[in-house]
A = this chain, B = another copy of it.
């Protein structure tokens, strides 16, 4: 998997925007607690690794279960999470996949309270084309407080 030195924005200027759009929709599914909808934005064998967890979560069923569990805990605690991705950079790889690197914040708002930054992280994805959009093949999230 050879990296293309720099994204040829002049010839494929829609790539950056399409990835940004994908993330907006994907994070909204997550924050709304649509566990199956969110898991469906990964490939069947998609994996989610995080420096907060010893093992990656692999496959849509496991990914959905993790979201369902977290969402139920948040609802019980009366806390709303919003995932913000930003500072996105995108590299088209020669095998047709895309490597997307971004910063990601989790904003947590307690019912009746003040929002805080729950987490500051980086998110490194390998995306595979899926019609007009993408599927996440591999995600690696690194929490800044743990490194």
Contacts and interface: CB of A to CB of B under 8 A. Distances in A.
A2 interface: no
A119 B103 CA distance: 17
A107 B87 contact: no
Interface size class of A (residues with CB under 8 A): 35 or more
Interface stretch (A20-28, A40-48, A54-62, A64-72): A20-28
Nearest to A103: B82
B7 A90 contact: no
A82 B120 contact: yes
Given A14-B9, A17-B9, A115-B119, A84 B87 contact: yes
A51 interface: no
Nearest to A16: B17
Interface of A: 6-10, 13-14, 16-18, 20-21, 23-25, 27-28, 80, 82-90, 101-103, 105, 107, 109-120, 132-133, 144-147
30 contacts: A6-B133, A9-B14, A9-B21, A10-B14, A13-B14, A13-B17, A13-B18, A16-B20, A21-B89, A21-B90, A24-B88, A24-B89, A25-B89, A28-B89, A28-B101, A80-B145, A80-B147, A82-B144, A83-B87, A84-B86, A84-B105, A85-B87, A86-B86, A107-B117, A111-B147, A114-B116, A115-B117, A115-B120, A115-B144, A115-B145
